[in-house]
Amino acid sequence: MFIHSVYFWLARPESDEDRAALKAGLESLRGVEAIQAAQIGTAAATRRPVIDHSYDFALLLTFADEATHDIYQEHPIHLAFVDSCKHLWNRVQIYDVEVK
């Protein structure tokens, strides 16, 4: 199993329009057949020193393996998402996890 965790910081976090546009863009990624499971969310209300809750959206994607993840990276839906939404964020942080 391969988990692709992506965290987004909006360039204009006060903009409801930008927030809705990014959420819609993230939802569009569900159309990529290589994805086994897709979760989209925001920071939980938990507050402890070790928790980073500064991001605006989190995208958690599960793939069968790294090869399937690599297919997703080049998929037209993913490329269109990046092209149409990249102006909405000023930071993206990615953590990839291989579960064995």
| Domain boundaries defined on the chain | 2-98
**Tens digits of residue pLDDT in 34-89:** 999 999 999 999 999 999 999 999 999 999 999 999 999 999 999 999 999 999 99
Q: Which two tokens stand for residue 28?
A: 């569009």
Q: What is the mean pLDDT of residues 21-41?
A: 98
CA gap 80, 85 in Å, rounded: 8
**CA 10/CA 37 separation, integer angstroms:** 24
**Calpha distance 48→46 (Å, rounded):** 7
The vertex-64 CA angle with 59 and 74, nearest 5°, equals: 65
One CATH from 3.30.70.100, 3.30.720.110, 3.20.20.70, 3.10.20.30 for 2-98:
3.30.70.100
